[in-house]
Amino acid sequence: MITKGVSIPPIHGNIYDSAGQQIAYSISTQSLYFTFKTGFKQEAAEALAAKLVQLFNEKGEANSKPLTTEEVIEAMDIKGRTHLPFQQRRIKSGLSKEEIAYLSEHRDKYPDMEIVEERIRQYSPDRVAVQLVGYMNKMKGAKENLDFYKEINADQSDPTLKYLDSEEVGYDGIELMYQKEMRGLNGYKSYQIDSMSRIVGDMKLTKPVKGQNLYLTINRKVQLTAQQAILDQIATTRLITQPAGEILQAVQLTVNVCSIRNQDEAARMNRQPR
């Protein structure tokens, strides 16, 4: 037997204004994962999928997209088309409290299922400094579009620092500028597997580490007043600074609107069940 494992994305640090109020932060969401075990057959997958769909329909959020038995079976990927045998398969994200409670109380009925905490990036509803803060995106796309990420894993031997395709990374603004400081460290799940890469032993978990928080010198009230002035058709960009040079506010209409749309799109994609 050999030991094999999968990395867990790190927890991104938060961004605060000068008064310590949140501007960008990560909230917890619970996802359901399936672990493929030796001897698990198509018939068992179909039976488990049917049970899960019934559970989702009865205990899930009313406004969540319903999953079909076929979609759950496809997510299980028991033929290994998109996963190695030891890699966990995500069945559903954004579990409701009722789903979590039921699954936790009936673990014996779902021995191959595991509830995993994941993080979704959120931004303050008042849209303060969106053009400065920026937004996040999946690493898989970021490494294709931004030079910053194209070679970031080159010669990286530390598994806690290796960027994962599935993680969210800074894509613009401060989220990108302070990506390395706010990223944190990967966690890790390791398994004993056989020569066919099938899990034959218990899982060991090393939890991910949260990155550093970032405190800005932005005064929220001044910033929001300036943003509203811009929206009221004042067309110039102005910087207000303290004597020491810290920026209190900086706004510009076209970039502001673009950043709002990008933050909304990123948040919408993160909320979609997968």
H or E element: which one contains 32?
strand 22-34
How much is the pLDDT for 252? 46
197 contacts 4 by C-beta, under 8 angstroms: yes
Cα distances (Å, whole numbers) of residue 105 to 8, 38, 101, 111, 118? 25, 25, 6, 12, 21
Beta strand pairing call for 204-206 and 187-193:
antiparallel
Q: Is the pLDDT of residue 265 over 90?
A: no
State phi, psi for 115 to the nearest 5 degrees: -85, 125
Element at 204 (helix H, strand E): strand 204-206
Query: Rounded to an integer, what distance in angstroms lies between the CA atom of residue 189 and that of residue 191?
Result: 7
Task: Specify whether the CB–CB gap between 69 and 27 falls below 8 A.
Answer: no
Across the chain, mean pLDDT equals 84
Ordered by where they begin, the domains of the chain are 2-271 (3.90.1310.10)
pLDDT digits (tens, 9 = 90+) for 22-41: 999 999 889 999 988 777 88
pLDDT value for 34:
93
| The pLDDT of residue 270 | 54
Three-state secondary structure call for residue 62: coil
User: 3-class SS at 271?
Assistant: helix
**Rounded CA gap, 199 and 46, in Å?**
21
Straight-line distance from the first to the last Cα atom of the chain, in angstroms, rounded to the nearest whole number: 32
143-152 residue pLDDT tens: 999 999 999 9
240: which DSSP letter? E
Please write the tens of the pLDDT for every residue from 188-230.
Answer: 888 777 776 666 677 788 889 999 999 999 899 988 888 888 7
CA geometry: angle 30, 36, 42, nearest 5 deg: 115
For residue range 171-193, what is the model confidence (pLDDT) as tens digits?
999 999 999 999 999 998 887 77
Residue 30's Cβ-count burial label (10 Å; 0-12, 13-18, 19+) is middle
Q: Shortest CA distance to 169 belongs to which of 156, 181, 183, 148?
A: 183
**Would you place residue 269 in the very low, low, confident or very high pLDDT band (cuts 50, 70, 90)?**
low
